[in-house]
Every structure is written in C-alpha cells, then in structure tokens.
Structure 1
C-alpha cells in the first residue's frame, strides 16, 4: 500500500477548465471518496491518477514517486494500480477464475488456491470460479472485478462508481463486501461517487468537488456536521436551513431559540439543522407550532414534512413507531446546536414549490393573518395519541 498525493493539478479540455488547482492527500491504507455532482471533475481526476489522462500542470505522486507531471509520465500499466470500472469490465468469454487470474502475475495464474482466497476475500464462494460472468448477478460481477483488481496487491485501487448500476439491495450488500475487502487488505483506495450515503459510509475521508475545485476535504462526521458552506451542507445530506437573527450568541428562528456551534457575532444569519435534530411535542404557548403536510414511512424510520407558520416546509426524521398524520398540529423541539452561516457569506438559494423538500418554500402560509397557525382542518397530535 502506498500514499497518493495530488499537488496543484489542473486540467482543461480545449478552452473548458475541468480541474483547477486540486490538492489531495490519501494516506496509505485508507479510502477517500471523491464526491460531487455530474460534471464536477471527479472522473477526470481519477483518470489522471490512473494514467489514462495527463494533467496540464501539477503532479501526481504514488508512494513518494512522481508518476505524472514535471515532464514525467509513468504509463498506466506500470503504476501498480488496480481499477474497478462502473460495470465491472469482466471478460465475457472467460470464467470467473480466469478473470481473477488475469490480474495475477503470470507465474501465479495457475494457482487455484490463490483464486479461491481472492474470491473469499470479496465474499464469494469458490464454487463460482467455473461460471461465466453472465451467470452472475451484477453485485457478484462487481466483486469479481474487485478480486481481479486486488490480485496483484496493487499500490492503489481506483473504483469508478462501482455500485451505481446495482439495485438498492445489491448495492448495499456489495458496498459492505467491498469495504470489508479493502479494510482486510489495508489497500489505499479512491472511490468516485455521486451518492452521499455511499461516500459517508465507505470512506475514511471525503473530498467534495464542485465546478472542478476541491471545496472541502474532511472525515465523514466532520463533513456532515461542519460543512464549510450551505452548498456542501445541502449536498451531503438533508438539511433544514432557516433564516435567523443572532443575539447574544443564540439564534432566534421560527423553530425557537437555538444554541449555536460555533458561536458567531450578532446579526442576520442562516442556520443549519439536520432533520434528525427535530422532535415533535404537544403544541403549547411557548412551543413553535407546525402542521404536518406529509409522512413518508420507511419502516425503521419516517420523514415527516412540517409546514411552519411562514409557509416554509422543513423535514423531521423520526422513529417509525409513533407518528403523526398529515394535517395534525404539532409542536417542534430542537435537540443540539445549529451551525450558523452569517448572511455576508454567499449561500445557495433554496428551491421553491411543493417539491422543495427539506429547505424550500411550499406555497401560502397555513397560519391566520397574524401568522399564528390556524386550527382549521387540523388535529392536535400528542405522543400518546397514536
């Protein structure tokens, strides 16, 4: 295993800049996820690391050796890199064993025990060795591709959205198998994904790319809890973003007076909460009140959309056992601190309309002329009522 270091890498196609000043360090034996929307440059960066493309400027170092930049270019086949493409890339005319053997040094290609060991490493039974790729599920094919990539004990493993073509159940099962195999082999790995949950659950650190620039590099918990701006906050997970007035270190908002972490100066701001920080209580004179506009039940938990007096819709993530119904009046309680973003800092405008989700506006306020929630067509919800 080797550390990967990318220093000030820039890449353009014609007059279109794709990567600008990328600095990234992947410690040996860890997995880094490159996370971002389509067109942000993450696949281009992966291709430069792999040796499929050259940077316009900057360098790529693997194990302390410059493999790209400064007038040097080590061919892809000599970089000691294992590559797992989006859909496996198995040879359809070869058996599973032959596909895995293809990744081994020539002198080991008849070592059946090594093939069985590699298949076991990715959670596959040795009985599958004689099958053809078309006889495997999509998840099994991706695991065989990983076994082939790990076979020569590479310095680095690159995974280009390896789970995106799988259905939900196979994707999660395969993700766990891949994560386990990378941990057991202590491989250094880079995973390209646009799936936030995949990045947070798989990687030791996450690099968020936006418009060809690396905007934040952090471990998953820090990224989720302390995003550097609201664009990152809303991209890495559901977000409740509210206007607030900060006075004496606390934010006064329509869901109550909130503690802040970190503290910030007085003045107008936007504050970030996560849906799991919102809890429902009985409405009361000192309790912010909302109306339930929708309940999405997932079994283990539920997403409850709440229309505030202003008409703004926010989401609460709740235990699935005791839920209100659409139309109920509920009180809102916030647990934990909010993350402040003073208005001087540029922030993305939330979308509007009924599909605005967790931070958009949703039509007219349901309150009366004074902005207080109306009792019309609603039922007061209490935790013991259902």
Structure 2
C-alpha cells in the first residue's frame, strides 16, 4: 500500500474547467471519500489518479513515485492501482475465479487457494468460484469486482460509486463487506460517492468537492459538526438555517436566544442547527411556538415538519413512537450550540436545507 498525494491538479474539457488546483493527501492505509454533487469533478479526479486521463497541470504521486504531471505519465496498467467501477465491470465470459485472477500473472491464475482466499476476504463462499457473473446478485458481483481489484495487491484501490445500483438493504450489507475487506487487506482506498451516509460511515476522511475545487477535507464527525460553509452543511445532512442577530455570545432568532459555538462578533449572521437538536414540548412550554405541518415516520426515527411563527419551516428529528399529530401546536427548544456563518444572502426567515429535496 502507498499514500496518494495530489498537488495542484487541474483539468478542463475544451473551454469547460472541471478541476481547479485540487490538493489532496490520502495516508497509506487510509480510506478517503470524495463527496459532492453530480458534475463537481469527483469522477474526473478519480480517472486522473487511475491514469485513464492526463491532467492539464499538477501532479499525482503514489508514495514517493510521481505517476502523472511534472513531465511524467506512467500508464494506468503500470501504476499498481485497483479499480472498482459502478457496475462491477465483470467479464461475462469468465467465471468468478477467472474474473478474480484476471489481473494476476498467468502462472498464478490457476491457484484455487488464492481464489478462495480472496473470496473469503470479501465475504463470499469459495463455492461461488465456478459460477458465471449473471448467476450472482448485484452485491455479490460488486464483491467479486473488489476481490479482482485486490488480487494483485495494489498500492491503491479506487471505487467509483460501486453501490449506486444496489437497493438500500443490499447496499448497506455490501458496504460493510467492502469496508471490512479493505481494512483486512490494509489497502489505501478512495471512494467516489454522492451519498452522504456512505461517505460519513465508511471513510477516515471526507473530501468535499464543489465546482471543481476542494472546499473541505476533514474527518466525518468534524465535517458534520463543523462544515466549512452553509453549502457544505446543506449537502452533508439536513440543516436548519435561520437568520439571527448575534449579541453578547447568543444568537437571537425566531427560536429564541441560542448559544453559539466559539467567539463570534456581534451583528447579523446566519445560524446552523441540525434537526436532531430540536426538541418538541407541549404548547404551553417555554420554547418557541410552532405548528406541526407534516410527519414522516421511518421506524427508527421520524422527521417532523414545523411551521414557525414567522411562517418559516424547519424540521425536527425525533426518536420513539410518541409523535405529535399534524396540526398540533408545540414548542421548540434547542439542544447544544448553533454554528454561525456570515449574513450574506439572508432570506429573511427560517430556511430548511434538505439534500433529499
């Protein structure tokens, strides 16, 4: 395994810039997720690292070896990189064993022990070795694709949205198996995804791309709790954004006086809360008054849509089976502190930023 170091990476297609001066370091044995909306440059960055395209400027380094840029261009097949595409990309005319050993030297392709070892690594039974790809489920095909990528013991494994075609239950199961296999192999890995839950649950660090630029690189907890700006906050989970006036360490807004994180200068601002910070109480409670507009029940928790006194809408995430009824009046209290951001672009009332909308 090797570290990955990307420095000043820039790429344009014609007159359209796709990546602009991206710097990224993935430690040896680390797992980094590239997260961002469609068209932000995630897949282009992965292709430049893999060697499928060449950068306009900047360098790509694996360990102490520069493989792209600075007048060098190591071909993709010589970079020692394993690649797992979206649909698995298995060869339909080869068996599972044939697919797994495809990247190995010919003398090792008949090693059934190595095939069984690799299948076990990705959580599959050795009895599947003689099956054709079409005889496997989608999740099994993705695991075979990972086993194929790991077989040559690559310096780096790249995964390009490998779970996007799977249903929710199978996606979660396959994600866990893939993460366990990468951890067991000690592999350095980079995952491209637009799924926030996927990035936060799997990666050691998350790189958020926007409009071809890296806007934040940090561990998942910091990303969720301390997003670099409101756009990142809105993309990584649900957000409640409120106009506020900062005064003596508190944010005065429609939900009352909220404590803020860190030292903040007095004046207009926007504050960020997560829906799980909102606690609902009886209508005669001490918090801000609101009316329940809608309730979405998910089993493990629920999302409650609330209309505030100023006409704005926010959501609360609630646990448990006892939920308020639509039309019911409630009060809202806030747990924890609010994050503050500049007041530019204020909208004048509460705003719900929900990536699912």
- Cα deviation digits, residues 332-383 of structure 1 (max 9, x gap): 111000100121xx5596999xxx85579xxxxxxxxxxxxxxxxxxxxxxx
**Secondary structure, counterpart of 1:252 in structure 2:** strand
Alpha-carbon distance in structure 1 between the residues aligned to 2:50 and 2:332:
50
Displacement of 1:285: 6.3
Which has the larger Rg?
1
Alpha-carbon distance in structure 2 between the residues aligned to 1:215 and 1:47:
20
In the TM superposition, 1:1-386 aligns within 5 A as 1-284=1-284, 286-343=286-343, 346=344, 357-358=352-353
Alpha-carbon distance in structure 1 between the residues aligned to 2:258 and 2:265:
14
Alpha-carbon distance in structure 2 between the residues aligned to 1:9 and 1:2:
19
User: How many equivalent pairs are there?
Assistant: 355
Cα contact 2:104–2:151 (8 A) shared by 1: yes
Normalised by the size of structure 2, how large is the TM-score? 0.96
Alpha-carbon distance in structure 1 between the residues aligned to 2:353 and 2:316:
9
**Secondary structure, counterpart of 1:102 in structure 2:** coil
Alpha-carbon distance in structure 2 between the residues aligned to 1:348 and 1:9:
34
**Secondary structure, counterpart of 2:101 in structure 1:** helix
- Cα deviation digits, residues 184-228 of structure 1 (max 9, x gap): 111000100111111111111111111011011110000000001
Gaps of 5+ in 2: none
Normalised by the size of structure 1, how large is the TM-score? 0.89
**Secondary structure, counterpart of 2:104 in structure 1:** coil
Cα contact 2:30–2:188 (8 A) shared by 1: yes
TM-align CA RMSD: 1.7
Gaps of 5+ in 1: 361-386
After superposition, the Cα gap between the structure-2 partners of 1:296 and 1:148, relative to the gap in structure 1 and judged at 3 Å, is: same
Cα contact 1:278–1:333 (8 A) shared by 2: yes
Cα contact 1:262–1:340 (8 A) shared by 2: no
Cα contact 1:11–1:20 (8 A) shared by 2: yes
Cα contact 1:297–1:320 (8 A) shared by 2: no
